[in-house]
Chains A and B, each alone.
Chain A
Amino acid sequence: MSARDGTVIGTTILQDSGKKGFNLVIVSEGYKRAELPTFATDAKDFMDKFFMTPPFDSHQAWFNVYRVDVASTDSGAKDPAGGACGGSGANPATYFEASFCWNNLPRLLGCNSDLVRKVVNAQVPKWNGILVIVNTTTFGGSGGPVAVFSRAAGASEIGIHEFCHAAFGLADEYEYYGGCGTGETGHDNYTGAEPAEPNVTANINRNTLKWGSFVGRSIALPTTVNADCTKCDPQASPVAAGTVGAFTGAFYNHCGAYRPEFDCKMRTLSKPLCSVCQYRIEVKLKPYAPLGDFPQPKPNTGVG
C-alpha cells in the first residue's frame, strides 16, 4: 500500500442537489499538494464535460458531486520501461500507485482501486460512482469498479465510458476484441445466450427485441448486415445518425450480435451515448430525481 506516499486532504462538495442525489466522487491521484488547485480545475472541467453529455445534461440536478483531494509525494504516474511495457521508466511515489502498464498490459493506466474505495468510503460513505483523475498528460485510463483516466485531452471520455459500465451495466458495442486489423479469430459470430445488458442483443425479432419500442416500423431488422463475418463491417451507416434499429456487430463479435444505433459512446469514445443507453441511464437514475422530475415513461420491454 502506498498511503505513505501522500495525504488525504479532504472533500469539497462541487454540486449539492440534496440528500437524495446520485453521489459522484472525483478523486485526485499523482497531484502534489501544491498541484491540488490544478486538480480542482481538472475536476471542474470533467464535471462540466460530464454534464454536457446527454442524458446527464438533462439531469444535472439528480447528482451530488464531490471532489476528494489526495496529495501525493510526487507528480504523475509510473511508466515502467521493462518487458512489454516500453514506458519511460518514470517511477513517482503516488498515493494510489497509479501506473501505466497496469496488470502488465501496455498502455493500461490503472491504480490501487481498493485503496481508492477505502478513502472514498471514509470521505463519502454513500458514494454511487468513483472517478480518479491521474495527473499525467499521457492519454490513458481503465475501468472496473473505479473509472480511471488521465488529464490528457479527450481522456475524460474514458471516464464517462467506464462510468457507464460500472454504474449502469452497459455493454461494449464494438464488434472486435483486440482490434479490427489484428486478424483475430473466434469473434466472427456470436452464438452465446442473449446478453443480459440492455444495449446489445442476439435477438432481432421485431416483436421481442429488447429495445423494440425504439425502432420505427420502416426500419429494417437487421438494419445493417456484415457481408464478411470474418472481419469488422466497413460499411457506412445506411440510415441517419440517431436512428435506432439493430446494427450487426457488437459485444466483441463481427456478426450474430447487434447494437441499437450505428454508433454510441459504448462503441466509440468520442460519440454520444445512443438513445437506448440514455434511456437505461435515466431509468436507473430515477430514484435520485427530485420529486416531480422523472423521465417520460416509454413502453420498453427490457431496456430499463
Chain B
Amino acid sequence: MDSKSREGGGAEPTRALRLTFSYSSKGIHLDEIRPLEGMPLPPTDPIQHGPEAGFWYELRDAENATLYRQVVDNPMRHEAEVYTEGAPIERLTKEDHADSFTLLAPGLEGVTAIALFSSPLDPATFGAAAKEIARFSLVDPEQTNLSEQKKR
C-alpha cells in the first residue's frame, strides 16, 4: 500500500467531514456527509502496519495512497457490554445487527475516498486480521459502496 501519510503530524485542517453510515445484513451505506468548518480532529494513527485485528478507517487519495488512518472501537459489533452493579463487565451477543454510526474525517487536500477495515464481526473469529469491508467516494457521494462495485 502506498502511503503519503502525515503520521503523528496532528495536522489541524480547518474543515472536517462527519460521515454517517448505516449497516445491516445487506451491507454498509454512506447516508450523509456533513461538512464542519473549523473543527480540529485527532492526529492520524500509524499508516504503516502489519496485519492487525480491529476496526479502522483510512482516507485515500486518487492514487490510493493513505493520507489518514484512525483506529476506533468497532461500531458494528454484534455484542454489547452489560453492566451489573458491583460485578465485572460482561459481554452478550445482540440480536439486532442493523444500526448506524458516524466517523469524523479531516478535510485533507486530495482525499477522494474513505475505506473501512474490519475484522470479522462474529465474536468467535473477531481476532482475524481486518480487511477492507467498504469504500465510499467522498468526491461523488452518490456512488454506492465502491468495494461492492469492484466485486461485481
- In the bound assembly, the distance between CA atoms of A49 and B123 in angstroms comes to 33
- In the bound assembly, the distance between CA atoms of A202 and B34 in angstroms comes to 37
Verify if A158 is at the interface (C-beta below 8 Å from B): yes
Verify if A304 is at the interface (C-beta below 8 Å from B): yes
Q: Which of B35-43, B108-116, B139-147 contacts A (4 or more CB under 8 A)?
A: B35-43
With A174-B88, A284-B42 as given contacts, are A140 and B72 in contact (CB-CB < 8 Å)?
A: no
- In the bound assembly, the distance between CA atoms of A287 and B91 in angstroms comes to 33
Across-interface contacts of B54 in A (CB, < 8 A): 171, 195-197
Verify if A275 is at the interface (C-beta below 8 Å from B): no
Would A186 and B124 count as touching, CB distance under 8 A? yes
Smallest distance from the beta carbon of B132 to chain A beta carbons, Å?
A: 14
Q: Which of A103-111, A218-226, A238-246 contacts B (4 or more CB under 8 A)?
A: A103-111
Among A143, A172, A186, A193, max chain B CB count under 10 A is at A193
Would A152 and B38 count as touching, CB distance under 8 A? no
Would A178 and B91 count as touching, CB distance under 8 A? yes
Interface 0/1 of B63-85, CB less than 8 Å to A = 00000001111010001111111
With A103-B96, A104-B95 as given contacts, are A166 and B73 in contact (CB-CB < 8 Å)?
A: yes
With A169-B70, A169-B72 as given contacts, are A268 and B81 in contact (CB-CB < 8 Å)?
A: no
Across-interface contacts of B51 in A (CB, < 8 A): 193-194
Across-interface contacts of B82 in A (CB, < 8 A): 105-108, 142
Would A194 and B34 count as touching, CB distance under 8 A? no
Would B85 and A154 count as touching, CB distance under 8 A? yes
- Specify the chain B residue showing the minimal Cβ separation from A114: B100
Smallest distance from the beta carbon of B9 to chain A beta carbons, Å?
A: 10
- In the bound assembly, the distance between CA atoms of A113 and B79 in angstroms comes to 16
Verify if A119 is at the interface (C-beta below 8 Å from B): no
Smallest distance from the beta carbon of A294 to chain B beta carbons, Å?
A: 9
Verify if A66 is at the interface (C-beta below 8 Å from B): no
Across-interface contacts of A302 in B (CB, < 8 A): 46
Across-interface contacts of A107 in B (CB, < 8 A): 82-84
Per the CB 8 Å criterion, the residue count for chain B at the interface is 57
Per a CB cutoff under 8 Å, which of B8, B39, B41, B52 touches A194? B52
Would A287 and B12 count as touching, CB distance under 8 A? yes
Would A174 and B75 count as touching, CB distance under 8 A? no
Across-interface contacts of A110 in B (CB, < 8 A): 80
Would B75 and A144 count as touching, CB distance under 8 A? yes
Across-interface contacts of A139 in B (CB, < 8 A): 83-85
Verify if A191 is at the interface (C-beta below 8 Å from B): yes
Verify if A126 is at the interface (C-beta below 8 Å from B): yes
Verify if B94 is at the interface (C-beta below 8 Å from A): yes
Across-interface contacts of B16 in A (CB, < 8 A): 126
Verify if A44 is at the interface (C-beta below 8 Å from B): no
Verify if A4 is at the interface (C-beta below 8 Å from B): no
Would A193 and B129 count as touching, CB distance under 8 A? yes
Beyond A107-B83, A191-B127, A195-B54, list 15 extra A-B contacts (CB 8 Å): A110-B80, A121-B34, A125-B36, A126-B39, A142-B81, A155-B83, A171-B54, A171-B73, A190-B127, A193-B51, A193-B119, A286-B42, A287-B12, A288-B40, A304-B43
Interface residues of B (CB under 8 A from A): 8, 10, 12, 16, 18, 20, 34, 36, 38-43, 45-46, 49-56, 70-73, 75, 79-85, 88-92, 94-96, 99-102, 104, 119, 123-124, 126-130
The 10 closest A-B CB pairs, nearest first, are: A192-B127, A196-B54, A139-B85, A287-B40, A165-B73, A193-B129, A196-B52, A284-B42, A193-B53, A169-B71
A-B CB contact pairs (8 Å), 15 listed: A107-B82, A113-B99, A114-B99, A126-B16, A126-B38, A142-B81, A152-B85, A154-B85, A166-B73, A191-B127, A192-B119, A193-B50, A198-B71, A286-B42, A287-B10
